[in-house]
Amino acid sequence: MLRTTTCGALTIKNLGENAVLCGWVQKSRDLGGMTFIDIRDRYGITQLVFNMDDNRELCEAARNLGREFVIKATGTVVERSNKNSKIPTGDIEIKITALEILNAAKLPPFLIDDETDGGDDLRMKYRYLDLRRNPVRNNMVLRHKMAQAVRRYLDAQDFIEVETPVLIKSTPEGARDFVVPSRMNAGEFYALPQSPQTFKQLLMVSGFDRYFQIVKCFRDEDLRADRQPEFTQIDCEMSFIEQEDILNTFEGLIRTLFKDIKGIDLPAVPRMQYADAMRLYGSDKPDTRFDMQFVELNHLVKDKGFPVFDQAELIIGINAKGCAGYTRKQVDELTDFIKRPQIGATGLIYCRHNEDGSLKSSVDKFFTEEDLQKWSAALNSQPGDLILIMAGGKDKVRKQLSELRLEMGNRLGLRDKNTFSALWVLDFPLLEWDEESGRYHAMHHPFTSPKPEDIALLDSQPGAVRANAYDLVINGTEVGGGSIRIHDKSLQALMLKHLGFSAEEAQKQFGFLMDAFEYGAPPHGGIAFGFDRLCSIFAGLDSIRDVIAFPKNNSGRDVMIDSPATIDDKQLAELNIKTTA
Binding-site entries for L-aspartate: 173, 219, 444, 485
DSSP 8-75: TT--GGGTT-EEEEEEEEEEEEE-SSEEEEEEEETTEEEEEEEETTT-HHHHHHHHTPPTT-EEEEEE
Report the C-alpha dihedral over residues 375, 376, 379, 382, rounded to 10 degrees: 170
CA geometry: angle 440, 453, 243, nearest 5 deg: 90
Please report, in range form, the residues annotated as the binding site for ATP. 219-221, 228, 478, 530-533
Among candidates 169, 153, 172, which has minimal Cα distance to 161?
A: 153
- Cα separation, 408 vs 405, in Å, equals 5
Which three-class secondary structure state does DSSP give residue 387?
strand
Q: Which residue type sits at 548? A: I
Give the β-pairing of 349-353 and 386-392. Answer: antiparallel
- Cα separation, 131 vs 139, in Å, equals 9
Within 8 A by CB and 6+ apart from 382, the residues are: 321, 353
φ and ψ at 422, to 5 degrees? -105, 155
Among candidates 151, 208, 197, which has minimal Cα distance to 528?
A: 197
Which three-class secondary structure state does DSSP give residue 444?
coil
In the DSSP assignment, the letter for residue 558 is: B
Which three-class secondary structure state does DSSP give residue 166?
coil
Please report, in range form, the residues annotated as the binding site. 173, 219-221, 228, 444, 478, 485, 530-533
